[in-house]
Structure 1
Amino acid sequence: MSNTNDLTTAQREAVHALMARFPVADELGRRFAQAGHDIHLVGGSVRDALLGRLGDDLDFCTDAHPDETLRIVKGWAEATWETGREFGTIGAFRDGLRLEITTYRAESYDGVSRNPAVQYGTSLSDDLSRRDFSINAMAVSLHDHRFTDLYGGLRDLHERMIRTPKAPEQSFGDDPLRMLRAARFAAQLRFVVDEPVIRAMSDMSGQLTRITAERVREEFSKLLLGEDPVTGLRLLVETGLAEIFLPELTELKMEIDEHAQHKDVYEHTLTVVQNAVNLDTADGGPDLVLRLAALLHDIGKPATKAVGSDGRVSFHHHELVGARMAKHRLKLLKYPKDVISPVVGLITLHLRFYGYGRGEWTDSAVRRYVHDASELLARLHKLTRSDCTTRNRRKAAQLAADYDALEERIARIAAEEDLAKVRPDLDGNAIMELLGLPPGPLVGRAWKHLKEVRLERGPLSQDEAEHELRAWAEDNL
């Protein structure tokens, strides 16, 4: 067991800074001490403090059982909740912080069910031994700020290594989601996963089927939003975990034809993801929708690969096939519609730009590009730029210049027209009045026609719009 004397000066200061930042913790410690109970700050809060990344998530463990915890925080907490009570967890809200207080646990698993059979432990060591990784198995006493490290968490922080407190096979057998968490921490912290842990992940990857789609989705999203998602993604593929919940990623490792007529789609995809990370990080923070679209934008290629008589490889309509595949996979992972819809839209549109540099786009084509992208336009700009992974510097420079030109052209046309809100030059009431129509489908068809004309030609005068409407009516009424 380590104490604060084992810490470096910087680490001791981090522990003190953590406790000083959250006086709520000391208040909580005094209440539990007065009731005759131990309580410790544990897990990610301690880890992040020692890494110099103080956060707002506070997790505690205690020898007090849930009923006693509720009694201790009653009148002090501004609110409490018991949604995790079956796992020994009581939630409390105080001074804008969400606190989770869990009774020492020493649960066991039957290797089949997804949830543990909760058994309360009797000591801090019981609790720390069941945690996922040594870097998350350190604790700070709220009573005297004593630091406890039974499993080499400090060493592993120093070595930037992910190890399990127990044998990895036992740890992953207890909770297979920990295998995905290992990849997630590698992505978030830029740590290396220990070789025995990787071997266990490979050997036990099939155990991930015990875990609900919702829990897998949450861990996978955190991985994608990490600082280095590419490292985490590689680990998922190399250990076989991707095969369990995202087989489309593994399938991108297609055999390259003998003439090298197409890129390594898997490596290209990871490069696109990294490019997207660079762009969204520079633009205010991680964007899950953009990163998912970057990851899945080419998953339709394996299904559409064809080799022509000249030996050239093609992937016709892979964007449409890939959009359907992405929608299906994201639904299986229980992503919400407000994530699925924009990801699918971006994949569908991601090839639209190519051909612009040949000078074939009219102002009408630019209007349609903006109209079809709609609220996805800013993300589509990033995805399209990210998708340029050629090593040919001249070609890369030309593509970048072409897209710069397109964005400038969009800005010019947008300054002349409200591209974000393209509407027909006559509204439904004007259409009904001019043609003498009652409300109904014909009005909608006329409106749609005028919108197409608006996209094609830009804004029309009143006389021009009425002329177009009458011409349409002659052929359709």
Structure 2
Amino acid sequence: MNNFKLEGQEKKILDLLQNVVQDKSPNTTIRVAGGYIRDKLLGLQSHDIDIAVDNMSGTQFANLVLDWMKENGIKTHRKVATVEANTEANKNLESAILPIFGVEVDFAQLRKETYNSESRNPCIEVGVTASEDARRRDLTINALFYNIHTGVIEDYVGGLDDLENRIARTPIAPLRTFLEDPLRILRLIRFAARLDLEVDKNVIYAAKDSDVQAALQRKISRERFWTEFSKFMSHPNFPCAVRLMNKMGLRELLLTPTEGQLDCLVTRQEKYTKKKWVKGFGDWDADQKNKYHNLNIWNHTLEALDFLSNIEGEHDVMITSIALLFHDIGKCDPCSTQMHSDGRQSFKEHELSSFIMTHKILTDLKAPNDVRDRVVKLVRNHMRLHQLPTRSKTGLRRIIRDVGADDWASFVALVKSDSMGKKGMELDPKYDYFSEYASEYLNSLDGRSEVKPPVNGYEVMELLKISPGRAVGIIMDSLKEQLIIDPDMTKEEAVTFVKSCRV
């Protein structure tokens, strides 16, 4: 694990930086920092190099590098890009970005951070040692340095052992780490899922601490949470991230609507005219008590996510995984729950409650509107394929129209995963039949979600001698619905149909 071999482009870059130090600032020590070392030791590709400078700002050193490159005839197509500190208190901390041989290199000064209880933006102290800098970082495996001058990996917090054993641990006490910056919990989840790390039990205990949970709500904006959440839900190991969110106390905190959010909440969307009130929130861990499920709501969701993670195809991983995470959240709505005399339990129209709750949660998280709308569309429709008779091509074409061609692959992946979210389940062959027919149908539509009407609105007005208005739209909608039933309708048949419509 201590083997850190430099070669090719990276060796050229680090040799250049060492020459800059020798010629321009011989008292300076520079180190490669953080994720670059971690990824290289794990045999992973890393695209950026972060350089830590001991005795000047990142901008000052980057300008020395630029001057040296010009003096030695090495072309660069950009000036130094300075990233200024985000607060007046930290105005002396400037970092910089400079491309060297086509690789983005970041320069920053070693620093120490102190926090107050109300903000995750620290006050910065420079002129510190590499050991002090290592202790401010989020994970031990991200706190490694490679000293360019000695050729040695410097490990001040046990990062090499943790990397060897695939353990996620904080450099200092996790309670202090998370109280200072609760966003580190989300970053830790992302790295643990991405690198398949086991999270140290003390880290889990600290994340669930009530003071930490309060700090997370107080210090982290919903937009910032969305940024991290969307990253780990886009990674193939998203089931690990979801499990860790639950273990670390984030399920109820961030993925569960509060009473205030649900109070008097009502929704309607386009063609769905039914209104439904969500009366409260039950329990993610509630037993489902019916023949379709042998797991509780949460464990069924996890089982489904595991199945989804193994599906290869053209589905959008982030959209599908988020939709699957929330597809049954509506079963936690007491209005959806129905108890039967034989002890069975059913969840009437739970997909509508799921749609309402998911829309609210993603809106609250400031998810982009297009992402939110695509997710809730899948959630709202997910039961329709389950309930569709095996050979109902008309019903399938109607679902394709409502889901849309662009999200069809994601929809099928979600529905298959949902059906497999049960111990000992085998996939119903009808889903393969639906997938095959849908593929043929969509290929015939050339990117559309429904058959293009053989006549347009202008022709409808001419045929019926009517003016532009609501009647034209109603007739065109009727024609489109008829095309769902008879997709091979000719223009002559369409004209006959239009003429039969009452104005």
Above 0.5 in TM-score? yes
- After TM superposition, list the pairs within 5 Å mapping 1:168-317 onto structure 2: 168-203=174-209, 204-209=212-217, 210-247=219-256, 253-256=284-287, 262=293, 263-279=295-311, 282-283=312-313, 287-303=317-333, 304-317=336-349
- CA displacement at 1:434 relative to structure 2: 1.7
CA contact (8 A) 2:183 2:220 kept: yes
Pick the aligned partner of 2:472 from 443, 461, 464: 443
Alignment match, 1:81 = 81
Q: Which moved more, 1:117-126 or 1:463-472?
A: 117-126
CA shift at 1:337, angstroms? Answer: 1.9
Match of 1:347 in 2: 379
Give the aligned partner of residue 12 of structure 1: 4
For 1:113, the equivalent position in structure 2 comes to 119
Report which of the two has the higher share of helix: 1
SS in 1 for 2:384: coil
Q: Give the equivalent residue in structure 2 for 1:69.
A: 61
CA contact (8 A) 2:30 2:52 kept: yes
Shifted more, 435-444 versus 76-85: the winner is 76-85
Residue 136 of structure 1 aligns with an amino acid whose one-letter code is N
Cα offset for 1:240? 1.4
* 2:213 aligned partner, one-letter code: S
More off after superposition, 59-68 vs 329-338: 59-68
Residue of structure 1 in register with 2:435 after alignment = 407
**Are the equivalent residues in 2 in contact too, given 1:364–1:458 (CA < 8 A)?**
no
Contact 1:26 1:143 in 2 (8 A): no
Counterpart Cα distance in 2 of 1:453 and 1:261: 34
Deviation at 1:378, TM superposition (A): 0.9
Q: Please report how far the alpha carbon of residue 257 of structure 1 lies from its aligned counterpart in structure 2 after TM superposition.
A: 6.5
**What's the counterpart of residue 322 of structure 1?**
354
Residue in structure 2 matched with residue 148 of structure 1 by the alignment: 154
1:23 counterpart (4, 8, 12): 12
Q: Deviation of residue 135 (structure 1)?
A: 0.6
Per the alignment, in what secondary structure is the counterpart of residue 106 of structure 1? Answer: strand
Contact 2:290–2:346 under 8 Å retained in 1: no
Aligned to 2:397: 367
TM-score (norm 2): 0.83
2:277 match: none
Partner Cα distance (1:319, 1:258) in 2: 18
Moved more, 241-250 or 427-436: 241-250
Residue 125 (1) aligns with residue 131 (2): yes
Which whole-Å deviations, capped at 9, do the CAs of 1:68-106 have from their partners, x for residues lacking one?
135324465524433443353223334443332222111
Q: Please tell me whether the aligned partners of residues 18 and 148 of structure 2 are also in contact (alpha carbons under 8 angstroms).
A: yes
Q: Can you list the C-alpha shifts for 1:243-277, whole angstroms capped at 9, x where unaligned?
A: 22222699653332778885311001011111111
Deviations 1:147-177 (A, max 9, x none): 2111111111111111111121222222111
Contact 1:426/1:450 (8 A) holds in 2: no
Distance 1:433 1:152 in 2: 79
Gaps of 5+ in 1: 1-6
1:290 aligns to what SS in structure 2?
helix
Aligned-partner residue type, residue 232 of structure 2? L
The answer to whether the 8 Å contact 1:370/1:377 transfers is yes
Kept after mapping to 2: 8 A contact 1:180/1:220: yes
Query: Is the 8 Å Cα contact of residues 180 and 241 (structure 1) preserved in structure 2?
Result: no
CA distance in 2, matches of 1:377, 1:284: 9
Tell which deviates more after alignment, 96-105 or 246-255: 246-255
Q: Percent identity?
A: 30
Q: Report the CA distance shift for 1:284/1:384 in structure 2 as closer, same or farther (over 3 A).
A: closer
Report deviation, 1:47: 0.5
The residue type equivalent to 2:476 in the other structure is W
Instruction: Answer whether contact 1:289 1:339 (CA < 8 A) is retained.
Output: yes
Given that residues 114 and 124 in structure 2 are in contact (C-alpha distance below 8 angstroms), is that contact kept between their aligned partners in structure 1?
Answer: yes
Q: Residue 105 of structure 1 contacts residue 127 of structure 1 at CA under 8 Å; is this kept in 2?
A: yes
Which residue of 2 is the match for residue 4 of structure 1?
none
Distance 1:83 1:379, change over 3 A: same
- 1:352 is paired with a residue of what secondary structure? helix
Give the CA deviation at 1:52: 0.7
Instruction: Answer yes or no: is the 8 Å Cα contact 2:167–2:199 preserved in 1.
Output: yes
Residues paired across the two proteins, number: 456
* Maintained 8 Å contact 1:79/1:94: no
User: Over aligned residues, Cα RMSD in angstroms?
Assistant: 2.7
Q: Label 1:276 to 1:257 Cα distance change in 2 as closer, same or farther (>3 A).
A: closer
Alignment partners' CA distance in 2, 1:114 and 1:95: 35
Specify whether residues 284 and 91 from structure 1 end up closer, same or farther in structure 2 by C-alpha distance, changes over 3 A only.
farther
- What is the CA-CA distance between 1:349 and the residue it aligns to? 1.5
Counterpart amino acid of 2:303?
T
Contact in 2 for aligned 1:114/1:212 (Cα 8 Å): no
How many angstroms does 1:437 deviate by? 3.0
How far, CA to CA, are the matches of 1:25 and 1:323 in structure 2? 53
Q: What displacement does 1:379 show?
A: 0.8
